[in-house]
Chains A and B, each alone.
Chain A
Amino acid sequence: MKRNFLNSSAFFFIFIGTIFANILPEGKSFTVKKVEVRCDGGIQVGVKTQEASFSTNVDLKLDDFRLRCDHLDISYLEIEGKTQVKSLNATGNVICEQASRSLKAWSDELTYDRASHQLVFSSEGKTKVDQGENNLEAPVILIDLESGEAFAKGGGSIEINLEEME
Chain B
Amino acid sequence: MTQPARSATDEAAVRFSAVSKRFGKTLALNEVSLAVRRGEFMTLLGPSGCGKTTLLNLAAGFFSPEGGEILIDGERVNDLPTYNREIGMMFQNYALFPHMTVEGNVAYGLKARHIAKPEIDRRVAEVLGLVKLAGLEDRKPRQLSGGQQQRVALARALVINPTVLLLDEPFSALDKNLRASMQVELREIQRKLGVTTIFVTHDQSEALSLSDRLAVMSEGRIRQLGTPEEIYRRPLERFVASFVGDANVLRGRLERIEGAHAILALGATQVRVPKGSLRGGAVSAPVDLYVRPEHLEVIETSGPCARSGTIVAQIYQGGYVDLFVECTDSSIERLLVRSAGHQAMTRWPIGTKVGLAISTDEGVAFPIA
Pairing of A with B? no
